[in-house]
Amino acid sequence: MVVPTRELCLQVRDDLALAGAGKGVTVVAAYGGRPIDAQIDAIAADAPVVVGTPAGCWTCCAAARWTCRP
């Protein structure tokens, strides 16, 4: 899921994590302003839901460590 700002990214991540609590759903946020390696590693661990800013998603995709699926 792509959202326009880091603040919205974190809010959506928190809301989705709350909604998925107890169901084994992992939600990862991808955004700039923090080291990207931890974000990429969390995504590579098969997180079923990724919320990110356009730049955060682009950076992760450019790292060629994950692909987008509908």
Cα angle, residue 36 at apex, residues 30 and 42 outer, rounded to 5°: 65
> In which domain, by residue range, is 30 found?
6-62
The count of structural domains within the chain is: 1
In a domain, 14, yes or no: yes
- What value does the mean pLDDT take over residues 4-24? 95
Q: How confident is the model at residue 68 (pLDDT cuts 50, 70, 90)?
A: low
- 25-57 in b/e form (b: 16+ CB < 10 A) is eebbbbbeeeebeebbebbeeebebbbbbeebb
Looking at residue 13, its pLDDT comes to 96
In a domain, residue 69? The reply is no
Beta strands in the chain (DSSP E): 27-30, 49-52
Which tens digit of pLDDT belongs to each residue from 29-65? 999 888 888 888 888 887 789 999 999 988 887 775 5
For residues 65 and 46, what is the distance between their CA atoms, to the nearest angstrom? Answer: 11
The SS3 of residue 23 is coil
Q: What mean pLDDT comes out for the span 22-31? A: 91
Decide if 67 is inside a domain: no
Residue 28 is assigned to a structural domain of this protein: yes
Q: Identify whether 54 is part of a domain.
A: yes
Residue 1 counted as domain residue: no
Q: Note the pTM of the prediction, 2 decimals.
A: 0.82
